[in-house]
Amino acid sequence: MLRFTKVTDYGLVLLTHLASTPEAGLANARGLAEATRLPAPMVTKICKLLVGHELLEARRGVGGGYALARPAQRITVANILEALEGPLALTECAEPEGHGDGCEREGFCQVREHTQHINAVIWKALGEVTLADLTGPVSPSDTFTFGAALPLRIAATPVRG
């Protein structure tokens, strides 16, 4: 099963909140925790990760806090996922060089290229959804059908786990 971890889920909630309330200016971790109803220690941890990956900027001191490091239209779900989870890889052979232990079947696997293609397609799709997209309602054009599979909807807000 492909599922966002709680860290990524909460990160999406935090970033969506910040993108939805730009008029609020800087937001401190306590205020973000209260506004999003997320645990304060987790908010602090996630904000530090996002600052480290240049998705948030932090200002210290009185009146300090966190703000988006760039416009929400220029932050993709792929950027967020990579910042909070690392590179996306559905299988060991799809992991970027130096990130996995490899697979003993790699040299003769019949589906390796296909799983790498699937990984690339998912990564591309995540790169096409921006943080700005997550702040608005889901429109009918946000529903995709893959073959005979059930439609896949991109939710306007993530499901809390």
pLDDT given at position 117: 84
pLDDT digits (tens, 9 = 90+) for 97-109: 545 556 777 677 7
Average pLDDT over residues 46-74: 93
Cα separation, 160 vs 138, whole angstroms:
17
pLDDT given at position 160: 42
CB atoms near residue 155 (< 10 Å): 10
131: closest CA among 81, 85, 86, 89? 81
Cα separation, 24 vs 27, whole angstroms:
7
CA 92, distance to chain mean position in Å, is 20
Average pLDDT over residues 55-64: 89
Q: Point out which residues pair with 153 in neighbouring strands.
A: 143
Higher local confidence (pLDDT), 55 or 122: 55
Which CATH class, in words, describes the domain spanning 6-153?
A: mainly alpha
pLDDT digits (tens, 9 = 90+) for 4-49: 899 999 999 999 999 998 777 789 999 999 999 999 999 999 999 9
pLDDT given at position 49: 96
Phi and psi torsions of 67, nearest 5°: -150, 160
Cα separation, 100 vs 94, whole angstroms:
9
The two tokens of residue 153 are 């909807």
Question: What is the value of pTM for the model shown?
Answer: 0.76
